[in-house]
Amino acid sequence: MDEDYSNGNSFLDYLKFGGQTATGILGALNKPKAPKPTNNTNWGVIAGIAAAVLVVLVLVVSLGRR
């Protein structure tokens, strides 16, 4: 039977190669994502504080003209 295969590869060898390839592709796709940067600046809070300060300044300027 081995003389039918000139390169020595059998159907099981092809199945093994296909399984290893599929496992490698799926492993690469399931790789963990890059970690988030450790910059913990909360720009929403900073923007809220800046907006509150701006509102107070506008009120002080507008009421100071009366």
> Tell me: the pLDDT tens digits for 33-44?
777 666 677 888
Assign 3-class secondary structure to the chain.
CHHHCCCCCCHHHHHHHHHHHHHHHHHHHCCCCCCCCCCCCCHHHHHHHHHHHHHHHHHHHHHHCC
More confident residue, 12 or 3: 12
User: Which of the two residues, 30 and 63, has the higher pLDDT score?
Assistant: 63
Query: CA angle 39-44-47, nearest 5°?
Result: 115
At 4-54, the pLDDT tens digits run 555 667 778 877 888 887 777 777 777 677 776 666 778 888 899 999 999
Cα–Cα dist 50/56, whole Å? 10
pLDDT at 1: 46
